[in-house]
């Protein structure tokens, strides 16, 4: 009896132990999952998931559809027949011919008076109407991401030994110091753009209109690619996947780059125009970037504080940090518009000023 | 009455409790600080070279940072030093480039035809570079557009002339990079100097690194190789004096390059 009772007691204690173990394991597992999701959430950019419907939607062409994953030149011809009318260089300036679609979608082509499949390319669905939408259609999300190794291209185009012959920013574009010789540099692809002086919806923030030279463009067509990668230099014009990587998600490309220091002017820097530098003098991460994916044209604060935080010269940065010390609601305006200027200054701004990082909530 | 578990249970369950408790502390701790970026360093390079009589910043040259000491990285450093580098002039002579093209590259201080846009007198007329003239003519017949033909002249150049020099150097670089990554067990970082010879390595883990140019840098009459140890400290913002790199031993220079004369080209014309 006693032995039986002891065994029962052990059994119940064992059960309690098991329950405790289960609870603790659950807590650990939950914490782990929480941690993973936090980390992943920080790394992944927000994107619209690809629309997947049970019934096929023939008004949208998706490159992710398994049967659409043929070699690109199955449908796209480079250059297209219309390139001389539509472009200043041999380019893909139009949608593929009907044959590319009809070979599989004959049934959808001849369904009803206004087949929905025609709306992928045509503005009007009618046998007599031939007008097509702009190629590529800017209203559609992008199904591909672009791979562009900045480091390799810099190694190829930008290597030359004499420092005095490199290009510099001028008022209108990127000219070399010797006007008759135009050395290649970042300006092959990145130029000032008048598009950026058009105010965004809702107007410019704080009424501050940025100078045209505040922004530089990114390539929106194949002009700067095909000038080298056309026939034999791989990836050639027919090796689309060398640069265009099919994404699992679709994304809209922002035409305006995100600016942190909206008030910075590339041709500024006082009478001496100290801002007129080579691009990579400030955009220090570009020279090591192997991909365009996730690339940010970020500039470290050290590029600014060489001049803007020097005793006896200028104390623009520390001056504003001191004002935050006195008033937590102070908005930094020297470099930033109010959307950025009202945020907490990043740790780098404090550290470069020889102060411990803090937030506005720390101000008493 | 004090409860007593059987010995086997105590041996198994108690360590398990302790282990799980510790794990949960670690996991929660990590969740609170998912991206610990503090305690990393920055290396600001300033590369200057004495080339002939002039001293100048070494513009647009790539430098690499390999984890570990010189001793730990000895194998690939030795490999890089035993490889005979190819000079620009020797390469283009071997590739069958015209004297005009070789002179064009030299006068413009270019390593390839991608260096700058070509002017009209360089693709037509008496002083034209034959390779440019042929390429522009081929483009005119292909594109039926003189502007495209001129801007896109490189698409009609022979591959050896177009980017052959870059490709042979890149192949050598790839091999050395693979060896350096395999020896150090870490990814190799690289940056290119700006026109003043300045470059930044950012977000570095504290520790010892080898600063190197992997492939020797071609000067007017010499090749220069740099392989130096660098100590990166946590929280270093690179705002102090830059890490001065040079091909001569001078005051404040922390990394002195080893110079070797340029090879004499096979054709005998040399540099």
Distance to chain A for B18, nearest Cα, Å: 11
The pLDDT of residue A227 is: 93
Which DSSP letter does residue A245 get?
E
Say if B116 is an interface residue toward chain A (CB within 8 Å): yes
Of A27, A166, A180, the CB nearest to B119: A180
Average pLDDT value for residue range B205-233: 95
Say if B115 is an interface residue toward chain A (CB within 8 Å): yes
Q: Residue A213 burial by CB count (10 A; 0-12/13-18/19+): exposed, middle or buried?
A: buried
Nearest CA in chain A to B5: A10
Distance to chain B for A214, nearest Cα, Å: 21
Average pLDDT value for residue range B81-91: 92
Confidence of residue B11 (pLDDT cuts 50, 70, 90): low
Of B30, B109, B154, the CB nearest to A160: B109
Say if B181 is an interface residue toward chain A (CB within 8 Å): no
Say if B88 is an interface residue toward chain A (CB within 8 Å): no
Count CB pairs under 8 A between chains A and B: 183
Average pLDDT value for residue range B171-185: 95
Confidence of residue B162 (pLDDT cuts 50, 70, 90): very high
Q: Are B56 and B195 in contact (CB under 8 A)?
A: no
Q: Are A238 and A78 in contact (CB under 8 A)?
A: yes
* CA–centroid distance for B261 within its chain: 21
Query: Would the pLDDT of B44 be above 70?
Result: yes
Collect all residues with Cβ–Cβ distance below 8 Å to B245 and sequence separation of at least 6: B45, B46, B47, B48, B58, B63, B211, B226, B228, B253, B254, B255, B257
The pLDDT of residue A171 is: 39
Confidence of residue B267 (pLDDT cuts 50, 70, 90): low
Contact assignment for B17 to A181 by CB distance below 8 Å:
no
Distance to chain A for B265, nearest Cα, Å: 21
Say if B120 is an interface residue toward chain A (CB within 8 Å): no
Contact assignment for B3 to A13 by CB distance below 8 Å:
yes
> Which strands sit side by side in the sheet containing B207-212, from one edge to the other?
B189-192, B62-67, B207-212, B227-232
Average pLDDT value for residue range B195-223: 92
Contact assignment for B154 to A227 by CB distance below 8 Å:
yes
Contact assignment for A184 to B148 by CB distance below 8 Å:
no
Query: Would the pLDDT of B151 be above 60?
Result: yes
Walk along chain A (364 residues) and give the pLDDT tens digit of each residue.
445 555 666 677 778 877 887 777 777 676 665 544 444 333 444 444 444 455 788 988 999 999 999 999 999 999 999 998 999 999 999 999 999 999 899 999 888 888 999 999 999 888 777 888 988 888 888 888 888 888 888 888 766 545 444 444 443 444 444 446 788 888 888 887 776 667 777 888 898 988 877 778 888 889 999 999 999 999 999 999 999 988 767 666 555 567 789 898 888 888 888 888 888 888 887 777 666 555 666 788 888 888 898 888 889 999 999 999 999 999 999 999 999 999 999 988 998 888 888 999 998 8
Share of chain B above pLDDT 90, in %: 63
Q: How far apart are CA A132 and CA A130, in angstroms?
A: 6
Which of 3-32 (B) contact A at CB < 8 A?
3, 5-6, 9, 13, 16-17, 20-21, 23-24, 27-28, 30-31
Distance to chain A for B180, nearest Cα, Å: 17
Say if B85 is an interface residue toward chain A (CB within 8 Å): no
Query: Would the pLDDT of B224 be above 70?
Result: yes
The pLDDT of residue B17 is: 60
B148 to chain A: which residues are within 8 Å by CB? 88-90
* CA–centroid distance for A152 within its chain: 19
Out of B40-44, B182-186, B260-264, pick the least confident. B40-44
What's the farthest any 2 CA atoms get from each other in chain A? Answer: 108
Distance to chain B for A64, nearest Cα, Å: 32
Contact assignment for A34 to B61 by CB distance below 8 Å:
no
B144 to chain A: which residues are within 8 Å by CB? 84
Q: Are B73 and B183 in contact (CB under 8 A)?
A: yes
Q: Residue A158 burial by CB count (10 A; 0-12/13-18/19+): exposed, middle or buried?
A: buried
Query: Rg for chain B (alpha carbons), in Å?
Result: 27
Contact assignment for A351 to B235 by CB distance below 8 Å:
yes
> Exposure pattern of B178-211 as b/e (b: 16+ CB <10 Å)?
ebbeebbeeebbbbbbbbbbbbbbbebeeeebbb
Name which of B45, B114, B216 to mutate to probe chain A: the one with the most chain A Cβ atoms within 10 A of its Cβ.
B114
Say if B168 is an interface residue toward chain A (CB within 8 Å): no
Distance to chain A for B92, nearest Cα, Å: 16
A349 to chain B: which residues are within 8 Å by CB? none
Residue that is written with structure tokens 């413009």 in the block: B108
Query: Would the pLDDT of B86 be above 60?
Result: yes
How many CB atoms within 10 Å of residue A240? 18
Say if B190 is an interface residue toward chain A (CB within 8 Å): yes
Say if B112 is an interface residue toward chain A (CB within 8 Å): yes
Query: Rg for chain A (alpha carbons), in Å?
Result: 29
Of A34, A89, A300, the CB nearest to B148: A89
Out of A18-27, B74-83, B250-259, pick the least confident. A18-27
Query: Would the pLDDT of B29 be above 50?
Result: no
Q: How far apart are CA A341 and CA A333, in angstroms?
A: 6
Say if B127 is an interface residue toward chain A (CB within 8 Å): no
Collect all residues with Cβ–Cβ distance below 8 Å to A275 and sequence separation of at least 6: A169, A264, A265, A266, A267, A268, A269
Query: Would the pLDDT of B141 be above 90?
Result: yes
Distance to chain B for A303, nearest Cα, Å: 10
B191 to chain A: which residues are within 8 Å by CB? 284, 287-288
* Strand, helix or coil for residue A165: helix
A42 to chain B: which residues are within 8 Å by CB? 34-35
Strand duo B258-261 + B227-232: pairing: unpaired
B62 to chain A: which residues are within 8 Å by CB? 151, 155, 287
Say if B259 is an interface residue toward chain A (CB within 8 Å): no
Strand duo B222-225 + B217-218: pairing: antiparallel
Say if B239 is an interface residue toward chain A (CB within 8 Å): yes
Strand duo A309-310 + A314-315: pairing: antiparallel
β strands within chain A, DSSP E: 48-49, 142-146, 167-169, 174-176, 244-251, 309-310, 314-315
Query: Would the pLDDT of B160 be above 70?
Result: yes
A225 to chain B: which residues are within 8 Å by CB? none
Contact assignment for A10 to B114 by CB distance below 8 Å:
no
Which DSSP letter does residue A354 get?
T
């Amino acid at each position: 009896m006693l032995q039986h009772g002891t065994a029962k007691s052990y059994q119940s204690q064992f059960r309690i132990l098991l329950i405790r173990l289960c609870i603790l394991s659950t807590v650990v597992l939950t914490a782990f999952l929480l941690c993973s999701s936090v980390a992943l959430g920080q790394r992944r950019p927000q994107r619209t998931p690809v629309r997947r419907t049970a019934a096929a939607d023939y008004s949208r062409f998706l490159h992710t559809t398994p049967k659409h994953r043929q070699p690109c030149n199955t449908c796209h011809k480079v250059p297209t027949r219309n390139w001389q009318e539509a472009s200043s260089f041999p380019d893909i300036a139009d949608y593929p011919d009907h044959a590319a679609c009809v070979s599989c979608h004959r049934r959808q082509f001849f369904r009803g008076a206004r087949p929905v499949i025609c709306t992928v390319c045509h503005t009007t669905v009618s046998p007599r109407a031939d007008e097509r939408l702009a190629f590529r259609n800017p209203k559609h999300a992008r199904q591909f991401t672009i791979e562009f190794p900045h480091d390799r291209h810099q190694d190829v185009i930008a290597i030359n030994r004499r420092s005095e012959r490199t290009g510099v920013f001028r008022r209108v574009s990127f000219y070399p110091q010797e006007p008759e010789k135009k050395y290649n540099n970042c300006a092959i692809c990145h130029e000032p753009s008048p598009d950026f002086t058009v105010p965004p919806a809702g107007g410019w923030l704080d009424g501050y209109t940025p100078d045209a030279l505040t922004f530089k463009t990114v390539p929106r067509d194949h002009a700067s690619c095909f000038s080298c990668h056309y026939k034999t230099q791989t990836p050639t014009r027919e090796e689309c996947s060398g640069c265009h990587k099919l994404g699992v998600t679709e994304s809209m490309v922002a035409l305006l780059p995100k600016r942190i220091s909206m008030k910075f002017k590339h041709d500024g820097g006082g009478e001496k125009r100290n801002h007129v530098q080579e691009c990579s003098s400030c955009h220090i991460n570009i020279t090591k970037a192997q991909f365009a994916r996730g690339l940010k044209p970020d500039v470290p604060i050290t590029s600014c504080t060489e001049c803007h935080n020097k005793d006896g010269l200028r104390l623009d940065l520390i001056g504003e940090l001191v004002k935050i010390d006195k008033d937590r609601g102070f908005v930094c305006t020297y470099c930033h518009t109010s959307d950025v200027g009202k945020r907490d200054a990043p740790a780098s701004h404090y550290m470069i000023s020889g102060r411990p990082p803090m937030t506005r909530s720390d101000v008493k | 009455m004090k409860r007593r578990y059987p010995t086997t249970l105590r041996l198994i369950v108690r360590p398990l409790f302790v282990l799980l408790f510790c794990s949960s502390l670690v996991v929660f701790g990590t969740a609170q600080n998912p991206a610990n970026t503090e305690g990393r360093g920055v290396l600001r390079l300033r590369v200057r070279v004495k080339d002939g009589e002039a001293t100048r910043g070494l513009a647009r040259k790539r430098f690499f940072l390999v984890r570990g000491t010189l001793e730990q990285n000895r194998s690939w450093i030795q490999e890089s030093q035993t490889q005979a580098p190819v000079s620009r002039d020797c390469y283009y002579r071997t590739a069958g480039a015209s004297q005009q093209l070789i002179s064009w590259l030299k006068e413009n201080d270019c390593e390839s035809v991608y260096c700058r846009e070509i002017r009209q007198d360089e693709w037509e007329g008496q002083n034209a570079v034959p390779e440019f003239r042929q390429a522009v003519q081929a483009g005119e017949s292909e594109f039926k557009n003189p502007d495209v033909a001129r801007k896109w002249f490189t698409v009609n150049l022979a591959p050896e002339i177009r980017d052959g020099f870059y490709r042979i150097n890149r192949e050598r670089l790839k091999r050395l990079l693979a060896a350096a990554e395999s020896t150090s067990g870490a990814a190799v970082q690289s940056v290119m100097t700006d026109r003043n010879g300045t470059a930044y390595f950012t977000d570095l883990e504290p520790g010892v690194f080898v600063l190197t140019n992997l492939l020797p840098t071609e000067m007017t009459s010499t090749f220069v190789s740099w392989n130096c140890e660098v100590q990166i400290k946590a929280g270093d913002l690179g705002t102090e004096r830059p890490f001065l790199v040079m091909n001569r031993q001078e005051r404040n220079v922390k990394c002195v390059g080893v110079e070797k004369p340029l090879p004499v080209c096979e054709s005998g014309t040399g540099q």
